[in-house]
């Protein structure tokens, strides 16, 4: 739970946010996309683990350990700002666009992008200061890679 305290500033004595903490925040956003349509199916779970492993080198065992924490934190979150602010402050635009692409791939993993998933990704994209053009390019790239 220390990474949550560092990331969300609930403990003034903790060190600065680490890159690993930011990866976990991004994983929380991916989890939120998977949960948005009311169910997390096998394709979405597999996509979450794949995205986290390939992009941020968090291993599946660690993902299992933090999923409970993430679910609790996402359930308690009043808005997405607390997840996106540290990412916006610490990540460059290209990395933020890559996260939006991963969110689109997560939404499309079950073969259908739900309107609520699309709305969530749009909100996160805005909070991350991702341009509309980059948002659309990320969507097209992610959906075409899922279709192939």
pLDDT of amino acid 85: 92
**Topology (CATH) of 2-147:** TerB-like (1.10.3680)
Q: In whole angstroms, give the CA distance from residue 92 to residue 96.
A: 6
pLDDT of amino acid 124: 96
pLDDT at 64 over 50: yes
pLDDT of amino acid 1: 44
Burial of 85-116, coded b for 16+ CB within 10 Å and e otherwise, reads bbbeebbeeeebbbbbbbbbbbbbbbeebeee
pLDDT of amino acid 13: 47
pLDDT of amino acid 52: 75
Q: Which residue has 């990395």 as its token pair?
A: 95
Write the pLDDT tens digit of every residue in 10-61: 544 445 778 878 888 888 888 888 888 777 777 777 777 777 777 777 766 7
Quick count: other Cβ atoms within 10 Å of Cβ 124? 23
pLDDT of amino acid 75: 66
Q: In whole angstroms, give the CA distance from residue 55 to residue 123.
A: 22
Write the pLDDT tens digit of every residue in 66-122: 666 666 666 666 678 878 999 999 999 999 999 999 999 888 887 888 899 999 999
Asked if 137 and 93 count as a contact pair (C-beta separation under 8 A), the reply is: no
pLDDT of amino acid 18: 82
pLDDT of amino acid 98: 93
**pLDDT > 90: what percent of the chain?**
32
Asked if 103 and 113 count as a contact pair (C-beta separation under 8 A), the reply is: no
pLDDT of amino acid 95: 94
């Amino acid at each position: 739970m220390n990474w949550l305290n560092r990331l969300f500033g609930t403990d003034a004595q903790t060190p600065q946010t680490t890159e690993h903490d930011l990866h976990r925040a991004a994983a929380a956003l991916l989890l939120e996309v998977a949960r948005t349509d009311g169910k997390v199916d096998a394709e979405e779970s597999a996509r979450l683990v794949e995205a986290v492993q390939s992009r941020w080198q968090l291993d599946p065992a660690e993902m299992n350990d933090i999923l409970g924490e993430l679910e609790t934190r996402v359930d308690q979150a009043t808005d997405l700002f607390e997840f996106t602010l540290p990412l916006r402050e610490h990540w460059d635009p290209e990395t933020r666009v890559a996260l939006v692409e991963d969110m689109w791939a997560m939404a499309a993993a079950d073969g259908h992008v739900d309107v609520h998933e699309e709305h969530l990704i749009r909100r996160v994209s805005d909070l991350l200061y991702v341009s509309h053009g980059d948002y659309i390019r990320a969507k097209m790239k992610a959906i075409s890679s899922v279709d192939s």
